[in-house]
Structure formats: structure tokens, C-alpha cells
Amino acid sequence: MTEKWVKAIEGKNKKYYRETLLNYAANRWALNKTGSVDRVAFLIRQCSPKSFEDWEKYYFKNARQKKQNGQKITPEYIDNLGKKLFMEITETVKSELNSICEDECIDYMHNLVLNRTFEGYRSEIEVIYGELEEALGVDIKQAPDVWDRLFTVDYFIEVKSKFIGLQIKPIEAGMALDEYKWNGIQKETHDKFTKQFGGKVFFVYSIKQGDKKVIYNKGVIDEIKREIADLSK
């Protein structure tokens, strides 16, 4: 019998009616992070399971909290994570929801659409026209709108009638690059850009450092330099 809170079942995976709320709370209190449940993506690759039962057995045998003196993860431990999730939603989140007023929501939407877009744009400009352009010693230009839509490219560098694409992505403090899936998602559009314009597309990840944004993946600078050199031949 399907639980009343389950919207749909796909194989072993369940879709929940209140999944947005559950996901929000699990993320907010880091219940799905390595400090709570270990590196699940790494562990399942190590396991290479042929069935769900193989994976479940391997996980509970090998998983530990990824923190100092982290405890071994058991089914009972996962139960306790669920209990903590329930407590945070019914106490903290419920209290916060009850305190929200209409004016706060109106103010938030104005800030989200206008203020944050503007600050994000300023940060992007700092990274491109500050650190990156200076490090490369070349002119970097904003991509036409059609390039953004067709190739997911934000900026470009012209080298002997060929173009190198750049895509700028903000990254939150404490997050690792392998948690971001842009590379895989946008590979097809970036391959089309390379086929049409000759140059590769590079991701430039930015992170806040003090009062300004800086390049997170510094190694991309040398990669772009090599691509410029190759296209210049």
C-alpha cells in the first residue's frame, strides 16, 4: 500500500507531495550533506551495484559521517535524520511561516528580481573585466543575446576570426565544483559553439572573497591561455 504522502513511485524512487518543503529543510540543515550521510555519489560508484539490495547493504556497511569522529551510519541513524527533519519543519519552519507578512513577500520579490540581478551583474563584471581580462591580456566581449540562448555563452574572446566562449557561474562558499552539473547539462550546446566558431567554451566559477568576487577555479586561466595559443597558430 502506497503511503498517503507519496505522489508517485518510479522504480525504487518515490516522489512526494511536499517534496519542495522536504528538500528545502534537508538542505537548510545539511541533512543530505557528507557530514550527515557520507559521499553517497562516491560510494555508489565504488559499489557499482547490480541491484538496490546490493547498494543498500554496501552503504550501511561502509558509510560514515564525513566529519571528525563521525559515526557509522545505520538504518536507525537515517530514522533519526528523518525525526530531525520533522522537528525542524514542524517547529522552526512552521514558526517562520506564521511570522511572514504580505509586505515582506512584496519586498522580497522586488529585491529578488531587481536588486539581486543588479548585484550579480556587477559581480560578474568584476570577475570578467577585472581579474580574468587582466590575467589573459586580451579583450573580453559580452556575447550577443542569441549566443546565450543557443550556446549558453556569456562572453567571448576573438582569436584570428575564431571565438572562445566563456560562461560565468557563481559558486557558494563551502561547495565543491563536482556538486555543479552545468558542464554535463550544457555540453551539447558548447560542442555546437566549438563546431561553429572553432574555440572551446570554458566555465569560470566565481566566489565571494571579502567584498568582491574572484575566480574560484584559477586553473581555467592557463587552460584559456593554451586555447588562445592554439588558435593563434
* pLDDT for 124 beyond 80: no
* Residue 153 CB contacts under 8 Å (≥ 6 apart), including other chains: 143, 147, 165, 166, 167, 190, 193, 201
Q: How far apart are CA 172 and CA 233, in angstroms?
A: 38
pLDDT, one tens digit per residue, over 24-74 is 999 999 999 999 999 998 999 999 999 999 999 999 999 999 988 889 999
The answer to whether the beta carbons of residues 15 and 6 sit under 8 Å apart is yes
Give start-end residues of each CATH 3.40.1350 domain in the chain. Answer: 106-232
pLDDT, one tens digit per residue, over 146-159 is 898 899 898 999 99
What does the CA dihedral 40, 205, 119, 107 come to, rounded to 10 degrees? -10
- Classify domain 106-232 at the CATH topology level: Trna Endonuclease; Chain: A, domain 1 (3.40.1350)
Helix axes 52-62, 40-47, angle to 10 degrees: 120
* pLDDT for 221 beyond 90: yes
